[in-house]
């Protein structure tokens, strides 16, 4: 009887919170290269009570306008999944207790202004927790507080990876390389310096 009372209370709270959460995440998706995309929180009543209550919570997503929302794990690509995770993290950033967030190529398939938005959102999240991001875009890398350069080397023994912290000058060069390839020009170096300005 006590369980049912608490479970019903939880169900009512979920019913109130679900549309608000869905609207907030849908709004965040619009700025992350998923214009027209939609996020839904579906509450499905269970036949039998469970340890987590009387309903199953499922996240549904439509990556673009005109598509039907389906379970997030079945329709989202890796890049979309990372951006949806970023939208959720930003929307709920004051609620969660996770002290480290890891994004693997959250910027896949985007560029320009969207990439800059992704970088700024991750920087915002980094104010009260640790955020680690793997990126190939200079707009995202320029927003980081620290920049680590990962490289691979192959020899007769096999392949090894190394990670190196890069300082301001090396960081400018790395951003310039990300902008314009291996041939560093004064233009790409100047652009990289500009990107690192607060």
C-alpha–C-alpha distance, residues 58 and 161, integer Å: 38
Quickly state the pLDDT bin for 11 (edges 50, 70, 90).
very high
In the prediction, which pLDDT does 94 show?
66
Burial label for 120, CB within 10 Å (0-12, 13-18, 19+), is: middle
Distances (CA, A) of 1 to 4, 47, 50: 5, 17, 14
**Residue 146 · residue 158 · CB < 8 Å:** no
- CA nearest 36: which of 63, 69, 74, 18? 63
Quickly state the pLDDT bin for 101 (edges 50, 70, 90).
confident
Distances (CA, A) of 183 to 76, 135, 136, 137, 188: 36, 20, 17, 17, 9
Quickly state the pLDDT bin for 191 (edges 50, 70, 90).
very high
Does the pLDDT of residue 109 top 90, yes or no? no
**Residue 119 · residue 111 · CB < 8 Å:** no
C-alpha–C-alpha distance, residues 40 and 77, integer Å: 17
In the prediction, which pLDDT does 76 show?
64
Quickly state the pLDDT bin for 2 (edges 50, 70, 90).
very high
How far is residue 195 CA from its own chain's centroid? 21
Section 178-183 average pLDDT? 81
In the prediction, which pLDDT does 125 show?
85
Judged by DSSP in three states, 95 sits in coil
Does the pLDDT of residue 75 top 80, yes or no? no
Quickly state the pLDDT bin for 10 (edges 50, 70, 90).
very high
C-alpha–C-alpha distance, residues 94 and 196, integer Å: 27
Angle of the 112-125 helix axis to the 78-91 helix axis, nearest 10 = 50
Span 117-152, pLDDT tens digits = 888 888 988 888 899 999 988 999 999 999 999 989
Quickly state the pLDDT bin for 96 (edges 50, 70, 90).
low
- 192's enclosing H/E stretch is helix 186-195
C-alpha–C-alpha distance, residues 185 and 176, integer Å: 8
């Amino acid at each position: 009887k006590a369980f049912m009372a608490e479970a019903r209370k939880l169900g009512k709270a979920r019913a109130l919170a679900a549309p608000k959460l869905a609207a907030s995440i849908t709004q965040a998706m619009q700025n992350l290269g998923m214009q027209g995309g939609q996020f839904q929180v579906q509450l499905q009543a269970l036949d039998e009570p469970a340890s987590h209550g009387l309903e199953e919570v499922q996240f549904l997503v439509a990556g673009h306008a005109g598509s039907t929302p389906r379970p997030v794990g079945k329709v989202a690509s890796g890049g979309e999944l990372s951006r949806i995770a970023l939208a959720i993290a930003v929307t709920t950033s004051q609620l969660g207790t996770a002290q480290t967030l890891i994004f693997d190529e959250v910027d896949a398939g985007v560029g320009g202004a969207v990439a800059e938005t992704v970088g700024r959102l991750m920087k915002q999240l980094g104010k009260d927790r640790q955020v680690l991001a793997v990126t190939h875009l200079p707009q995202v890398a320029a927003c980081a507080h620290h920049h680590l350069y990962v490289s691979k080397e192959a020899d007769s023994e096999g392949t090894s990876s190394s990670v190196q912290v890069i300082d301001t000058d090396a960081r400018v060069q790395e951003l310039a390389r990300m902008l314009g390839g291996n041939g560093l020009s004064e233009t790409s170096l100047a652009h990289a310096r500009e990107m690192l300005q607060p």
